């Protein structure tokens, strides 16, 4: 297959598997999405979706969030991991949203990435899922799949994002990155990987992946 044929196969297969695409993180507005994505760092979406209702019952907007102490926030979000950093980030960004953005989540990468504990991936998720801007957030699943499918060199997530944006049409980025996340979880996980189940890698990436990196079978 040519690279374009591989790209087309990925798009067509994912559309067949995921004609409707659920949003992984429960939220009701840009602020609750921002907090949920922040909490998802090194934590499963399932766990985040268990914790956010507890947090949002007390504070689902920046004005109520700053009424809590960092320690109170930390205690609620502790099961998500990295709670010292995340609680300070949530408290700090809530203050900044109030002081600099009238309590609203900004709609630019620059403003989002200036918030405490908000990196490029978090900003990209908010830009795409909350505001509908074309974005291709690269998480561990997408980084792994792009490499297994021979669509990037696997050097780092920055390169993977550049390659994804170069290869896939901009108008499908927002749906495609979610489809890839679900596919990575269900068909091509990091652990317990079954190549016979992983139809995309088996079809377009298996030979070269295994030749170059047989450790992927471990």
**By C-alpha distance, which of 128, 105, 112 is closest to 31?**
105
The pLDDT of residue 194: 87
Q: What is the pLDDT along the chain (218 residues), one digit of tens a residue?
A: 888 999 999 999 999 999 999 889 999 999 999 999 999 999 999 999 999 999 999 999 999 999 999 999 999 999 999 999 999 999 999 999 999 999 999 999 999 999 999 999 999 999 999 999 999 999 999 999 999 999 998 789 999 999 999 999 999 999 999 999 999 999 999 988 888 899 999 999 855 555 555 554 44
Q: Is the pTM of this model over 0.85?
A: yes
- Model confidence pLDDT, tens digit, residues 152-187: 987 899 999 999 999 999 999 999 999 999 999 999
The pLDDT of residue 155: 84
Instruction: Report the half-sphere exposure of 37 (CA within 13 A, side-chain side).
Output: 26
Structure tokens at 139: 């998480």
**Annotation: CATH topology of 30-130:** Endonuclease III; domain 1 (1.10.340)
CATH class of 3-21+136-217: mainly alpha
* Per-domain boundaries in the chain: 3-21+136-217, 30-130
Provide, rounded to the nearest whole percent, the portion of the chain with pLDDT above 70.
94
The sign one gets for the Cα dihedral 21, 194, 201, 9 is negative
Distance CA 7, CA 19 (A): 17
Provide the angle, in degrees to the nearest 10, between the axes of the packed helices 30-39 and 83-101.
160
**By C-alpha distance, which of 91, 133, 117 is closest to 125?**
133
The pLDDT of residue 1: 84
The pLDDT of residue 209: 58
Q: Which residue in 60, 121, 163, 198 is the catalytic one? A: 121
Active site residue 121: yes
Q: Which residue in 60, 139, 163, 198 is the catalytic one? A: 139
């Amino acid at each position: 297959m040519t690279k374009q044929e591989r790209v087309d196969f990925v798009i067509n297969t994912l559309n067949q598997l995921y004609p409707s695409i659920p949003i992984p993180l429960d939220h009701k507005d840009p602020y609750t999405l921002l907090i949920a994505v922040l909490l998802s760092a090194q934590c499963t979406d399932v766990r985040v979706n268990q914790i956010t209702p507890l947090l949002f019952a007390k504070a689902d907007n920046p004005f109520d969030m700053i009424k809590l102490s960092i320690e109170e926030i930390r205690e609620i979000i502790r099961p998500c991991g990295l709670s010292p950093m995340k609680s300070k980030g949530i408290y700090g960004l809530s203050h900044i949203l109030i002081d600099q953005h009238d309590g609203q989540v900004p709609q630019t990468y620059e403003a989002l990435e200036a918030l405490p504990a908000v990196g490029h991936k978090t900003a990209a998720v908010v830009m795409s899922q909350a505001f509908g801007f074309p974005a291709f957030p690269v998480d561990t699943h997408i980084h792994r799949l792009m490499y297994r499918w021979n669509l990037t060199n696997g050097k780092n997530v920055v390169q993977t994002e550049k390659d994804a944006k170069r290869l896939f049409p901009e108008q499908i980025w927002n749906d495609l990155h979610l489809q890839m996340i679900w596919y990575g979880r269900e068909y091509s996980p990091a652990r317990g990987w079954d190549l016979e189940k992983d139809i995309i890698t088996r079809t377009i990436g298996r030979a070269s992946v295994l030749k170059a990196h047989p450790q992927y079978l471990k």
